Structure 1
Protein backbone atom coordinates (compact mmCIF):
# COMPACT_ATOMS: atom_id res chain seq x y z
CA UNK A 1 0.00 0.00 0.00
CA UNK A 2 1.41 3.49 -0.90
CA UNK A 3 2.38 5.63 2.06
CA UNK A 4 -0.10 8.45 2.72
CA UNK A 5 1.20 11.80 1.55
CA UNK A 6 1.21 14.65 4.07
CA UNK A 7 -0.23 18.09 3.35
CA UNK A 8 3.19 19.74 3.05
CA UNK A 9 4.39 17.03 0.68
CA UNK A 10 1.19 17.38 -1.36
CA UNK A 11 1.78 21.12 -1.72
CA UNK A 12 5.36 20.59 -2.83
CA UNK A 13 4.43 17.83 -5.29
CA UNK A 14 1.84 20.13 -6.85
CA UNK A 15 4.38 22.95 -7.06
CA UNK A 16 6.86 20.62 -8.79
CA UNK A 17 4.19 19.55 -11.29
CA UNK A 18 3.36 23.18 -12.08
CA UNK A 19 7.03 24.05 -12.59
CA UNK A 20 7.45 21.04 -14.87
CA UNK A 21 4.42 22.03 -16.93
CA UNK A 22 4.68 25.83 -16.91
CA UNK A 23 8.14 26.84 -15.74
CA UNK A 24 9.08 28.53 -12.46
CA UNK A 25 8.18 32.09 -13.45
CA UNK A 26 4.68 31.06 -14.57
CA UNK A 27 3.99 28.99 -11.46
CA UNK A 28 1.62 30.82 -9.13
CA UNK A 29 1.05 29.97 -5.48
CA UNK A 30 -2.54 31.14 -5.79
CA UNK A 31 -3.16 28.56 -8.52
CA UNK A 32 -1.65 25.83 -6.35
CA UNK A 33 -3.78 26.89 -3.38
CA UNK A 34 -6.95 26.86 -5.50
CA UNK A 35 -6.11 23.42 -6.93
CA UNK A 36 -5.61 21.99 -3.45
CA UNK A 37 -8.58 23.79 -1.89
CA UNK A 38 -6.55 25.76 0.65
CA UNK A 39 -5.50 29.33 1.27
CA UNK A 40 -2.32 30.80 -0.14
CA UNK A 41 -1.36 31.55 3.46
CA UNK A 42 -1.22 27.82 4.19
CA UNK A 43 1.44 27.41 1.52
CA UNK A 44 3.39 30.38 2.86
CA UNK A 45 3.16 28.89 6.35
CA UNK A 46 4.77 25.66 5.16
CA UNK A 47 7.39 27.08 2.78
CA UNK A 48 7.71 30.85 3.17
CA UNK A 49 8.38 31.70 -0.47
CA UNK A 50 8.21 30.18 -3.93
CA UNK A 51 12.00 30.45 -4.12
CA UNK A 52 12.31 28.27 -1.03
CA UNK A 53 10.11 25.66 -2.69
CA UNK A 54 12.44 25.62 -5.70
CA UNK A 55 15.53 25.33 -3.48
CA UNK A 56 13.95 22.40 -1.64
CA UNK A 57 13.10 20.71 -4.94
CA UNK A 58 16.64 21.12 -6.27
CA UNK A 59 18.38 20.00 -3.07
CA UNK A 60 16.14 16.96 -2.63
CA UNK A 61 16.45 15.99 -6.28
CA UNK A 62 20.25 16.24 -6.40
CA UNK A 63 20.68 14.50 -3.04
CA UNK A 64 18.63 11.57 -4.29
CA UNK A 65 20.53 11.38 -7.57
CA UNK A 66 23.86 11.36 -5.75
CA UNK A 67 22.52 8.60 -3.49
CA UNK A 68 21.49 6.63 -6.59
CA UNK A 69 24.94 7.09 -8.13
CA UNK A 70 26.57 5.86 -4.91
CA UNK A 71 24.45 2.69 -5.17
CA UNK A 72 25.40 2.27 -8.82
CA UNK A 73 29.09 2.65 -7.98
CA UNK A 74 28.74 -0.17 -5.42
CA UNK A 75 27.33 -2.50 -8.07
CA UNK A 76 29.25 -1.44 -11.18
CA UNK A 77 33.05 -1.37 -11.04
CA UNK A 78 34.41 -0.32 -14.43
CA UNK A 79 34.57 3.33 -15.61
CA UNK A 80 32.72 2.60 -18.85
CA UNK A 81 29.92 0.87 -16.92
CA UNK A 82 29.58 3.77 -14.51
CA UNK A 83 29.50 6.42 -17.24
CA UNK A 84 26.94 4.35 -19.14
CA UNK A 85 24.88 4.05 -15.94
CA UNK A 86 24.71 7.83 -15.49
CA UNK A 87 23.54 8.21 -19.08
CA UNK A 88 20.90 5.50 -18.74
CA UNK A 89 19.77 7.09 -15.45
CA UNK A 90 19.21 10.44 -17.13
CA UNK A 91 16.64 8.84 -19.43
CA UNK A 92 15.04 6.58 -16.83
CA UNK A 93 14.50 9.52 -14.47
CA UNK A 94 11.93 10.83 -16.94
CA UNK A 95 9.83 7.83 -15.94
CA UNK A 96 10.87 7.29 -12.32
CA UNK A 97 10.64 10.97 -11.27
CA UNK A 98 9.23 12.77 -14.31
CA UNK A 99 7.96 16.03 -12.79
CA UNK A 100 11.01 16.64 -10.60
CA UNK A 101 13.37 15.83 -13.47
CA UNK A 102 11.70 18.20 -15.92
CA UNK A 103 11.33 20.93 -13.31
CA UNK A 104 14.97 20.85 -12.23
CA UNK A 105 16.32 20.61 -15.79
CA UNK A 106 14.26 23.44 -17.22
CA UNK A 107 15.04 25.76 -14.30
CA UNK A 108 18.80 25.24 -14.13
CA UNK A 109 19.26 28.91 -15.05
CA UNK A 110 17.66 29.82 -11.72
CA UNK A 111 20.75 28.39 -10.00
CA UNK A 112 23.32 30.47 -11.84
CA UNK A 113 23.62 33.51 -9.59
CA UNK A 114 21.23 33.16 -6.65
CA UNK A 115 23.37 33.03 -3.45
CA UNK A 116 20.68 30.92 -1.81
CA UNK A 117 21.29 28.22 -4.41
CA UNK A 118 24.91 27.72 -3.33
CA UNK A 119 24.21 24.28 -1.83
CA UNK A 120 22.44 23.16 -5.00
CA UNK A 121 25.37 24.30 -7.14
CA UNK A 122 27.69 22.37 -4.82
CA UNK A 123 25.63 19.19 -5.28
CA UNK A 124 25.60 19.63 -9.06
CA UNK A 125 29.38 20.10 -9.10
CA UNK A 126 29.75 16.98 -6.97
CA UNK A 127 27.73 14.99 -9.51
CA UNK A 128 29.75 16.37 -12.39
CA UNK A 129 33.10 15.73 -10.72
CA UNK A 130 32.07 12.19 -9.81
CA UNK A 131 31.68 11.45 -13.52
CA UNK A 132 34.84 13.39 -14.44
CA UNK A 133 36.82 11.13 -12.10
CA UNK A 134 35.44 8.05 -13.89
CA UNK A 135 36.44 9.47 -17.27
CA UNK A 136 39.93 10.10 -15.88
CA UNK A 137 40.06 6.53 -14.57
CA UNK A 138 39.03 5.25 -17.97
CA UNK A 139 41.75 7.29 -19.71
CA UNK A 140 44.39 6.08 -17.25
CA UNK A 141 43.31 2.48 -17.81
CA UNK A 142 43.45 2.84 -21.56
CA UNK A 143 39.69 2.27 -21.86
CA UNK A 144 38.90 5.81 -23.00
CA UNK A 145 40.72 7.93 -25.54
CA UNK A 146 43.08 10.64 -24.34
CA UNK A 147 40.67 13.57 -24.18
CA UNK A 148 39.72 16.42 -21.85
CA UNK A 149 37.63 14.83 -19.05
CA UNK A 150 36.01 18.10 -17.93
CA UNK A 151 34.99 19.11 -21.44
CA UNK A 152 33.75 15.60 -22.23
CA UNK A 153 31.51 15.52 -19.17
CA UNK A 154 30.21 19.04 -19.84
CA UNK A 155 29.26 17.98 -23.35
CA UNK A 156 27.58 14.85 -22.01
CA UNK A 157 25.51 16.60 -19.35
CA UNK A 158 24.73 19.49 -21.68
CA UNK A 159 22.94 17.14 -24.06
CA UNK A 160 21.34 14.96 -21.37
CA UNK A 161 19.90 17.91 -19.46
CA UNK A 162 18.13 19.20 -22.56
CA UNK A 163 16.16 15.96 -22.84
CA UNK A 164 13.16 17.46 -21.04
CA UNK A 165 12.47 19.70 -24.05
CA UNK A 166 11.73 16.86 -26.46
CA UNK A 167 11.40 13.52 -24.67
CA UNK A 168 8.07 12.16 -23.39
CA UNK A 169 8.22 8.68 -21.83
CA UNK A 170 4.67 7.97 -23.03
CA UNK A 171 5.62 8.84 -26.62
CA UNK A 172 7.27 6.89 -29.42
CA UNK A 173 10.44 5.98 -27.51
CA UNK A 174 10.83 4.21 -24.21
CA UNK A 175 13.37 5.64 -21.72
CA UNK A 176 15.53 2.54 -22.19
CA UNK A 177 15.70 3.22 -25.94
CA UNK A 178 16.67 6.85 -25.44
CA UNK A 179 19.35 5.96 -22.89
CA UNK A 180 20.70 3.30 -25.23
CA UNK A 181 20.99 5.79 -28.10
CA UNK A 182 22.87 8.28 -25.91
CA UNK A 183 25.25 5.60 -24.60
CA UNK A 184 25.95 4.51 -28.16
CA UNK A 185 26.88 8.05 -29.21
CA UNK A 186 28.74 9.20 -26.08
CA UNK A 187 30.69 6.05 -25.24
CA UNK A 188 31.06 5.19 -28.89
CA UNK A 189 32.99 8.43 -29.22
CA UNK A 190 35.34 7.99 -26.27
CA UNK A 191 36.03 4.25 -26.03
CA UNK A 192 39.36 3.05 -27.42
CA UNK A 193 37.83 -0.33 -28.26
CA UNK A 194 34.12 -0.54 -28.99
CA UNK A 195 33.75 -4.29 -28.46
CA UNK A 196 31.69 -3.77 -25.28
CA UNK A 197 29.57 -0.95 -26.63
CA UNK A 198 26.64 -3.20 -27.50
CA UNK A 199 26.43 -4.51 -23.93
CA UNK A 200 26.86 -1.04 -22.40
CA UNK A 201 24.04 0.35 -24.54
CA UNK A 202 21.73 -2.67 -24.29
CA UNK A 203 18.26 -1.31 -23.36
CA UNK A 204 17.32 -4.58 -21.65
CA UNK A 205 20.77 -5.43 -20.29
CA UNK A 206 22.21 -5.69 -16.83
CA UNK A 207 23.35 -2.08 -16.55
CA UNK A 208 19.84 -0.72 -17.21
CA UNK A 209 18.37 -3.16 -14.68
CA UNK A 210 20.92 -2.08 -12.07
CA UNK A 211 20.30 1.60 -12.75
CA UNK A 212 16.53 1.25 -12.46
CA UNK A 213 16.86 -0.57 -9.14
CA UNK A 214 19.24 2.05 -7.75
CA UNK A 215 17.01 4.94 -8.82
CA UNK A 216 13.96 3.36 -7.26
CA UNK A 217 15.84 2.65 -4.03
CA UNK A 218 17.08 6.26 -3.86
CA UNK A 219 13.61 7.66 -4.61
CA UNK A 220 12.09 5.67 -1.76
CA UNK A 221 14.37 7.16 0.89
Structure 2
Protein backbone atom coordinates (compact mmCIF):
# COMPACT_ATOMS: atom_id res chain seq x y z
CA UNK A 1 0.00 0.00 0.00
CA UNK A 2 1.34 3.46 -0.90
CA UNK A 3 2.47 5.71 1.93
CA UNK A 4 0.34 8.83 2.58
CA UNK A 5 1.76 11.77 0.65
CA UNK A 6 3.68 14.17 2.81
CA UNK A 7 3.70 11.85 5.82
CA UNK A 8 7.50 11.95 6.11
CA UNK A 9 7.47 15.75 6.03
CA UNK A 10 4.79 15.81 8.72
CA UNK A 11 6.90 13.58 10.96
CA UNK A 12 9.99 15.73 10.53
CA UNK A 13 8.10 18.97 11.14
CA UNK A 14 6.60 17.54 14.34
CA UNK A 15 10.04 16.38 15.47
CA UNK A 16 11.46 19.86 14.82
CA UNK A 17 8.70 21.46 16.88
CA UNK A 18 9.30 19.07 19.78
CA UNK A 19 13.05 19.77 19.73
CA UNK A 20 12.40 23.51 19.63
CA UNK A 21 10.00 23.30 22.58
CA UNK A 22 11.80 20.87 24.88
CA UNK A 23 15.20 19.98 23.45
CA UNK A 24 16.62 16.95 21.67
CA UNK A 25 17.19 14.77 24.74
CA UNK A 26 13.60 15.15 25.95
CA UNK A 27 12.08 14.60 22.52
CA UNK A 28 10.54 11.13 22.37
CA UNK A 29 9.61 9.33 19.18
CA UNK A 30 6.76 7.63 21.02
CA UNK A 31 5.24 11.01 21.84
CA UNK A 32 5.53 12.07 18.20
CA UNK A 33 3.93 8.82 17.04
CA UNK A 34 1.05 9.30 19.47
CA UNK A 35 0.49 12.89 18.37
CA UNK A 36 0.41 11.86 14.71
CA UNK A 37 -1.69 8.75 15.39
CA UNK A 38 0.85 6.32 13.96
CA UNK A 39 3.17 3.63 15.22
CA UNK A 40 6.70 4.38 16.37
CA UNK A 41 7.78 1.81 13.80
CA UNK A 42 6.47 4.05 11.04
CA UNK A 43 8.80 6.83 12.17
CA UNK A 44 11.72 4.42 12.36
CA UNK A 45 10.86 3.18 8.87
CA UNK A 46 11.10 6.70 7.47
CA UNK A 47 14.14 7.94 9.41
CA UNK A 48 15.90 5.08 11.17
CA UNK A 49 16.87 6.88 14.37
CA UNK A 50 16.23 10.08 16.27
CA UNK A 51 19.86 11.06 15.58
CA UNK A 52 19.21 10.80 11.84
CA UNK A 53 16.24 13.12 12.22
CA UNK A 54 18.44 15.65 13.97
CA UNK A 55 21.04 15.40 11.21
CA UNK A 56 18.36 16.00 8.60
CA UNK A 57 16.99 18.94 10.56
CA UNK A 58 20.43 20.56 10.83
CA UNK A 59 21.39 19.90 7.22
CA UNK A 60 18.12 21.23 5.79
CA UNK A 61 18.30 24.31 7.98
CA UNK A 62 21.89 25.13 7.06
CA UNK A 63 21.20 24.67 3.35
CA UNK A 64 18.22 27.01 3.65
CA UNK A 65 20.31 29.63 5.44
CA UNK A 66 23.16 29.38 2.94
CA UNK A 67 20.77 29.67 -0.01
CA UNK A 68 19.32 32.82 1.52
CA UNK A 69 22.76 34.37 2.12
CA UNK A 70 23.86 33.59 -1.45
CA UNK A 71 20.70 35.24 -2.78
CA UNK A 72 21.44 38.30 -0.67
CA UNK A 73 25.01 38.40 -1.97
CA UNK A 74 23.61 38.62 -5.52
CA UNK A 75 21.63 41.72 -4.56
CA UNK A 76 24.11 43.45 -2.24
CA UNK A 77 27.73 44.13 -3.12
CA UNK A 78 29.42 46.18 -0.41
CA UNK A 79 30.90 44.29 2.56
CA UNK A 80 29.10 46.45 5.09
CA UNK A 81 25.79 45.76 3.32
CA UNK A 82 26.43 42.03 3.33
CA UNK A 83 27.36 41.91 7.00
CA UNK A 84 24.24 43.91 7.86
CA UNK A 85 22.17 41.51 5.74
CA UNK A 86 23.52 38.51 7.66
CA UNK A 87 22.33 40.08 10.90
CA UNK A 88 18.88 40.98 9.59
CA UNK A 89 18.53 37.51 8.07
CA UNK A 90 19.45 35.87 11.36
CA UNK A 91 16.85 37.88 13.27
CA UNK A 92 14.13 37.38 10.67
CA UNK A 93 14.67 33.61 10.74
CA UNK A 94 13.53 33.77 14.36
CA UNK A 95 10.07 34.47 12.93
CA UNK A 96 9.77 32.99 9.44
CA UNK A 97 11.31 29.64 10.44
CA UNK A 98 10.93 29.78 14.20
CA UNK A 99 10.80 26.08 15.10
CA UNK A 100 13.66 25.06 12.80
CA UNK A 101 15.78 28.02 13.93
CA UNK A 102 15.29 27.33 17.63
CA UNK A 103 15.76 23.58 17.21
CA UNK A 104 18.95 23.99 15.19
CA UNK A 105 20.50 26.64 17.39
CA UNK A 106 19.44 24.95 20.61
CA UNK A 107 21.13 21.71 19.61
CA UNK A 108 24.11 23.07 17.69
CA UNK A 109 26.58 20.98 19.71
CA UNK A 110 24.61 17.75 19.51
CA UNK A 111 26.40 15.06 17.50
CA UNK A 112 29.24 17.49 16.79
CA UNK A 113 31.71 14.59 16.73
CA UNK A 114 29.45 12.28 14.76
CA UNK A 115 31.00 11.47 11.35
CA UNK A 116 27.50 11.60 9.89
CA UNK A 117 27.33 15.30 10.79
CA UNK A 118 30.26 16.06 8.49
CA UNK A 119 28.00 17.70 5.89
CA UNK A 120 26.43 19.93 8.53
CA UNK A 121 29.84 21.03 9.77
CA UNK A 122 30.89 21.72 6.18
CA UNK A 123 27.86 23.96 5.64
CA UNK A 124 28.51 25.84 8.88
CA UNK A 125 32.15 26.40 7.91
CA UNK A 126 31.04 27.73 4.52
CA UNK A 127 28.78 30.28 6.18
CA UNK A 128 31.59 31.35 8.47
CA UNK A 129 34.01 31.54 5.54
CA UNK A 130 31.65 33.82 3.62
CA UNK A 131 31.44 36.10 6.65
CA UNK A 132 35.20 36.16 7.13
CA UNK A 133 35.74 36.96 3.44
CA UNK A 134 33.48 40.01 3.67
CA UNK A 135 35.25 41.22 6.79
CA UNK A 136 38.63 40.83 5.10
CA UNK A 137 37.39 42.63 2.00
CA UNK A 138 36.09 45.48 4.11
CA UNK A 139 39.45 45.79 5.86
CA UNK A 140 41.37 45.71 2.57
CA UNK A 141 39.13 48.39 1.08
CA UNK A 142 39.50 50.61 4.14
CA UNK A 143 35.84 50.31 5.09
CA UNK A 144 36.44 48.31 8.27
CA UNK A 145 39.05 48.79 10.97
CA UNK A 146 41.73 46.09 11.16
CA UNK A 147 40.31 43.32 13.37
CA UNK A 148 40.77 39.61 13.93
CA UNK A 149 38.20 38.41 11.39
CA UNK A 150 37.92 34.92 12.87
CA UNK A 151 37.12 36.28 16.32
CA UNK A 152 34.64 38.86 14.98
CA UNK A 153 32.93 36.14 12.92
CA UNK A 154 32.54 34.00 16.03
CA UNK A 155 31.22 37.01 17.95
CA UNK A 156 28.68 37.73 15.23
CA UNK A 157 27.35 34.19 14.88
CA UNK A 158 27.62 33.46 18.57
CA UNK A 159 25.44 36.45 19.44
CA UNK A 160 22.71 35.93 16.83
CA UNK A 161 22.52 32.16 17.33
CA UNK A 162 21.62 32.55 21.01
CA UNK A 163 18.89 35.06 20.25
CA UNK A 164 16.20 32.38 20.57
CA UNK A 165 16.82 32.33 24.34
CA UNK A 166 15.41 35.82 24.87
CA UNK A 167 13.70 37.00 21.66
CA UNK A 168 9.99 36.15 21.50
CA UNK A 169 8.25 37.08 18.22
CA UNK A 170 5.14 39.17 18.55
CA UNK A 171 6.16 40.97 21.70
CA UNK A 172 7.71 44.41 22.06
CA UNK A 173 10.16 44.41 19.14
CA UNK A 174 9.99 43.27 15.52
CA UNK A 175 12.88 41.16 14.16
CA UNK A 176 13.94 44.15 12.06
CA UNK A 177 14.16 46.31 15.18
CA UNK A 178 16.27 43.69 16.94
CA UNK A 179 18.44 43.36 13.83
CA UNK A 180 18.83 47.13 13.71
CA UNK A 181 20.30 47.17 17.21
CA UNK A 182 22.73 44.36 16.39
CA UNK A 183 23.84 46.05 13.15
CA UNK A 184 24.31 49.36 14.93
CA UNK A 185 26.58 47.82 17.58
CA UNK A 186 28.50 45.44 15.29
CA UNK A 187 29.10 47.74 12.33
CA UNK A 188 29.49 50.70 14.64
CA UNK A 189 32.60 49.01 15.97
CA UNK A 190 33.88 47.98 12.54
CA UNK A 191 33.32 50.98 10.27
CA UNK A 192 36.14 53.46 9.83
CA UNK A 193 33.58 56.09 8.88
CA UNK A 194 30.31 55.80 10.81
CA UNK A 195 28.55 58.33 8.56
CA UNK A 196 26.79 55.61 6.59
CA UNK A 197 25.79 53.50 9.60
CA UNK A 198 22.22 54.76 10.05
CA UNK A 199 20.93 53.58 6.63
CA UNK A 200 22.55 50.17 7.14
CA UNK A 201 20.86 49.73 10.53
CA UNK A 202 17.48 51.20 9.53
CA UNK A 203 14.80 48.56 10.31
CA UNK A 204 12.74 49.98 7.44
CA UNK A 205 15.69 50.62 5.14
CA UNK A 206 17.04 48.97 2.02
CA UNK A 207 18.99 46.15 3.67
CA UNK A 208 16.16 45.01 5.94
CA UNK A 209 13.73 45.23 3.00
CA UNK A 210 15.96 43.18 0.69
CA UNK A 211 16.29 40.50 3.38
CA UNK A 212 12.56 40.28 3.99
CA UNK A 213 11.73 40.18 0.28
CA UNK A 214 14.34 37.46 -0.25
CA UNK A 215 12.76 35.26 2.42
CA UNK A 216 9.29 35.91 1.01
CA UNK A 217 10.51 34.88 -2.45
CA UNK A 218 12.08 31.69 -1.09
CA UNK A 219 8.90 30.83 0.81
CA UNK A 220 6.83 31.23 -2.35
CA UNK A 221 8.98 28.78 -4.31
Answer yes or no: same fold by TM over 0.5.
yes
**How far off is 1:52 after superposition?**
0.6
Check whether the contact 1:64–1:219 (CA below 8 A) recurs between aligned residues. no
SS in 1 for 2:194: coil
Q: Distance in 1 between matches of 2:156 and 2:93?
A: 16
Matches within 5 A, 1:103-142: 103-142=103-142
Question: CA-to-partner distance for each residue in 1:107-154, whole Å, 9 max, x for gaps?
Answer: 011142122111100000000000100000000000000111111111
Partner of 1:175: 175
Q: Distance in 2 between matches of 1:187 and 1:46?
A: 45
Q: How many residues align?
A: 217
Tell me whether 1:38 sits opposite 2:24 in the alignment. Answer: no
Partner of 1:90: 90
**How far off is 1:218 after superposition?**
3.5
Partner of 2:26: 26
Q: Distance in 1 between matches of 2:46 and 2:76?
A: 40
C-alpha spacing 1:60/1:104, structure 2 compared with 1 (3 Å)? same
SS in 1 for 2:31: helix
**How far off is 1:89 after superposition?**
0.5
**How far off is 1:219 after superposition?**
4.3
Partner of 1:6: 6
SS in 2 for 1:85: helix
* 5+ residue gaps, structure 2: none
Q: Distance in 1 between matches of 2:157 and 2:111?
A: 16
Normalised by the size of structure 2, how large is the TM-score? 0.95
Q: Distance in 2 between matches of 1:8 and 1:164?
A: 27
Question: CA-to-partner distance for each residue in 1:158-190, whole Å, 9 max, x for gaps?
Answer: 111110111111221111111001001101111
Matches within 5 A, 1:71-220: 71-220=71-220
* 5+ residue gaps, structure 1: none
SS in 1 for 2:110: helix
Check whether the contact 1:64–1:218 (CA below 8 A) recurs between aligned residues. no
Normalised by the size of structure 1, how large is the TM-score? 0.95
Question: CA-to-partner distance for each residue in 1:25-72, whole Å, 9 max, x for gaps?
Answer: 000000001111111111111111111111111111111111111110
Q: CA RMSD in A?
A: 1.1
Q: Distance in 1 between matches of 2:121 and 2:75?
A: 27
Q: Distance in 2 between matches of 1:202 and 1:152?
A: 22
Q: Distance in 1 between matches of 2:158 and 2:120?
A: 17
Check whether the contact 1:72–1:82 (CA below 8 A) recurs between aligned residues. yes
- Return structure 1 stretches of 4+ with deviation > 2 angstroms: 215-221
Q: Distance in 2 between matches of 1:24 and 1:220?
A: 30
